[in-house]
Structure formats: C-alpha cells, structure tokens
Amino acid sequence: MTTAEFNICVDKFADNVYRFILKNIKDEDKAKDVVQDSFEKMWLKVDDIAFEKSRSYLFTTAYHTMIDMIRKDKKKSDFDEIEPYTQGYKQEYMGLKEIIESALEKLPEIQKNVVLLRDYEGYSYEEIGQITGLNETQVKVYIYRARLTMKNFIGSLEKIL
C-alpha cells in the first residue's frame, strides 16, 4: 500500500472504526486511542498490506486492540467507581434507541461485537469471521442468539410504543 492509499484509508474508514469501537467501550477518549493505535499498527505494516484488504485489516486490528484494552482495564479497578448494591425498581421512560442500547449491553461481549459489525457496519458473515477470528457458522450462531436475547429483552414493539 502506498502513502496515498493509506491516507485514503484513513479518510474512508476512520469514522466507521471509531463508531464501532465507541459503541463497544462507551468512552470517547479510549475509542480515539484504539483507533489511533490501529492506524499506527497499520502504518508499521503498510508495505505488507494490500489496499483492497485495508478495511478488513483495520477493523481486525481495532477489534483486537479494543479487546486488549478491555482485558487490561478489567485487571485494574478503582473502588471509587464501584456502585453500592441497591435493591428496588425504578421505572422511567426510555426511547426506542435507549431500549435497543440497553438490550445490546445485556449481551455477552462477542455477541455484541458480531451484531454491531453486522447490523451497524454492514459486514458480511465471512468478513466478521475474519475480523473476530470465528468461522462463518459461529458468527451466524452468535448473531442469532444475540438477536433472540434482544427480542426477549425488548418484548413486543406494541408494549414499547
């Protein structure tokens, strides 16, 4: 890949990668760091990467960088950030977007990632498999289970609207 192609890749995919990472980790600064680290890793291997494969390489690198960051952050915990356990029920209005986002948060990490890649970013099953390291059948199963879990969490749309 040439320098000009790398710059095209940055212009074309930076926003998509940022959106994908931000949906997963919910921290703008960390998402920016992951995107920047991903482009840095890509730049270091710019001679080895074909321009046609740059999108897939970038999302795969960003995904793995995000997972590494999440694992590293899990090892650290600040007691000030831990919320005390409270019992009770709180009912408040939530818009459809908030309901979908809270349903996404209930999913296991891998199911959340494959649903975001499929439904938000529009990747094919094969591309998602390459990014996450799963085979195509596993991707389909995780997406099916995630959608089923979300459907059960949300219930019927008539009740929401």
Q: What is the pLDDT of residues 76-115, one digit of tens each?
A: 655 455 455 444 445 555 677 787 888 888 888 888 889 9
pLDDT digit string (tens) for 9-36? 888 888 888 988 888 888 888 889 888 9
Domain(s) of CATH 1.10.10.10: residues in the chain: 93-160
Where in the sequence of the chain do the CATH 1.10.1740 domains occur? 3-77
* CATH number, domain 3-77, options 1.10.150, 3.30.110, 1.10.1740, 1.25.40: 1.10.1740
Q: What does the pLDDT look like over 37-55, one tens digit per residue?
A: 998 998 888 888 888 888 8
The angle formed by the CA atoms of residues 129, 133 and 137, to the nearest 5 degrees, is: 45
Q: What is the pLDDT of residue 93?
A: 54
The predicted structure's pLDDT at residue 137: 92
For residue 125, give the 3-state DSSP assignment: helix
Residue found by looking up tokens 């094919």 in the block: 124
Residue 158 has pLDDT above 60, yes or no: no
What CATH number does the domain located at 93-160 have?
1.10.10.10
Tell me what pLDDT residue 141 has.
Answer: 92
Write out the DSSP string of 17-72. HHHHHHHHH--HHHHHHHHHHHHHHHHHTTTTS-GGGHHHHHHHHHHHHHHHHHHH
- Asked if pLDDT for residue 145 goes beyond 70, the answer is yes
Q: Tell me, what's the pLDDT at 138? A: 93
Query: Residue 67 — pLDDT band, cuts 50, 70, 90?
Result: confident
**From CA 106, how far away is CA 146, in angstroms rounded?**
9
Using a cut of 0.85, tell me whether the model's pTM lies above it. no
Distances (CA, A) of 139 to 53, 63, 82, 145: 20, 15, 33, 10
